[in-house]
Amino acid sequence: PVILGIESSCDETSASVCMNGEILSNVIANQTIHEAYGGVVPELASRVHQQNIIPAVQQAISKAKVNKNDIDAVAFTRGPGLLGSLLVGVSFAKSFALALDKPLIEVNHMQGHVLAHFIGDHKPSFPFLCLTVSGGHTQIVLVKDYFDMEIIGQTTDDAAGEALDKTSKVLGLPYPGGPLIDKYARQGNRGAYKFPEPQIPNYDFSFSGLKTSIMYFIRDNVKTNPDFLQENMADICASVEYRVVTILLNKLKRAAIEYGIKDIALAGGVSANTGLRQGLTELCEQQGWNAFIPKFEYCTDNAAMIAIAGYYKYLKGEFVGQDIAPLARMPF
Ligand code: ATP
Ligand code: MG
Ligand code: FE
């Protein structure tokens, strides 16, 4: 089957065409308007989605060299995400399906991030563990089957990506800060400064304390040296990144040992981070586990992950009707 995938949960408008489980196109329109505000402005995001969605879909279809009548189903992100943003993608998917008389498939965005691992040949086998780390979520997911997933640990406050973005704001870096922290960290010494590791039970996480300790650390050091930040940016970023990565991987390692699982995957925007990718690779080499790390274009928000998830739902015959509505919060 040919599946058209639509993603619009946050600030990326994306469309993708998948044929028999193979991704033929993945068009992503990024929104730059939010940079001036230091974070995504929901009202602006939905307006830009409205401008971008038709060109993105047209490009995805033409790059895939298919005809829109060849499409067998339309898969879309139903949630979780920003309601106004989701509405644009959901409404588009519904109109497209109605006009061309095609079935609709709803996809959970967080399951989409996990199922991105089924693009390409290097696929994990069930059950596997997936650390999903993004702008809004930090989860250790026990993946028993394509749509049978259990969250065994998650953040109790900020998400990992949110912590990086907020820290970068404190460091005076522009939004989104995650990629910039990555860039500076590559030139720094990760052992230069020690930030605390929170003591949280089970497989849960907390990142709000880290953000606060970094704020005080900067404030105290700038008092004695006004140029402290500029002079030590690389070391600070390397140390912050190292702490975030060790918090994540220590819990993931424990979960893998206790559940006896050897296939370990990363997903979500923060899985684009160099330190995290290297850290998981090393951990898996040490332990004799298999690491699954997505290609960069499938880490941050994209419609290919929605299209591949849609493909597996198509095989099961799981469709939804025109009465479907987006959900800002959506459990698995
Ligand atoms: P969610 O998936 O939880 O709804 P989202 O869709 O906004 O949230 P993604 O697009 O999956 O999140 O990821 C965005 C996050 O990834 C941002 O916090 C960003 O800073 C972070 N990020 C992207 N690239 C990197 C990188 N190289 N290093 C660290 N963080 C990164
Ligand atoms: Mg985004
Ligand atoms: Fe996402």
pLDDT tens-digit readout, 115-172: 999 999 999 999 999 999 999 999 999 999 999 999 999 999 999 999 999 999 999 9
Say if CB 30 and CB 12 are below 8 A apart: yes
DSSP assignment string, 154-215: EBSSS-HHHHHHHHHHHTTPPSS-HHHHHHHHTTS-TTSS-PPPP--STT-B--HHHHHHHH
Q: What is the C-alpha to C-alpha distance for residues 316 and 43, in angstroms, rounded to an integer?
A: 36
Residue 101 CA to ligand 1 center (angstroms) comes to 35
| Look-up of token digits 């500076």 | 184
Confidence of residue 23 (pLDDT cuts 50, 70, 90): very high
Tokens, residue 176: 């989104």
To the nearest whole number, what is the mean pLDDT of the chain? 97
In testing the pocket of ligand 1, which one of 134, 166, 329 has its CB within 8 Å of the most ligand atoms? 134
Cβ 270 under 6 angstroms from ligand 1: yes
So what's the pLDDT on residue 138?
98
Q: Which of 82, 23, 17 shows the shortest CA–CA distance to 56?
A: 17
So what's the pLDDT on residue 156?
97
Which atom, in ligand 1's list, is nearest to the CA of 110? 2
Is 134 annotated as belonging to a binding site? yes
So what's the pLDDT on residue 175?
87
Q: What is the C-alpha to C-alpha distance for residues 27 and 318, in angstroms, rounded to an integer?
A: 25
Cβ 135 under 6 angstroms from ligand 1: yes
Confidence of residue 176 (pLDDT cuts 50, 70, 90): confident
The complex's ipTM? 0.97
So what's the pLDDT on residue 222?
94
Residue 260 CA to ligand 2 center (angstroms) comes to 33
- Dump pLDDT digits (tens) for 256-266: 999 999 999 99
Is 117 annotated as belonging to a binding site? no
Cβ 42 under 6 angstroms from ligand 1: no
Cβ 85 under 6 angstroms from ligand 1: no
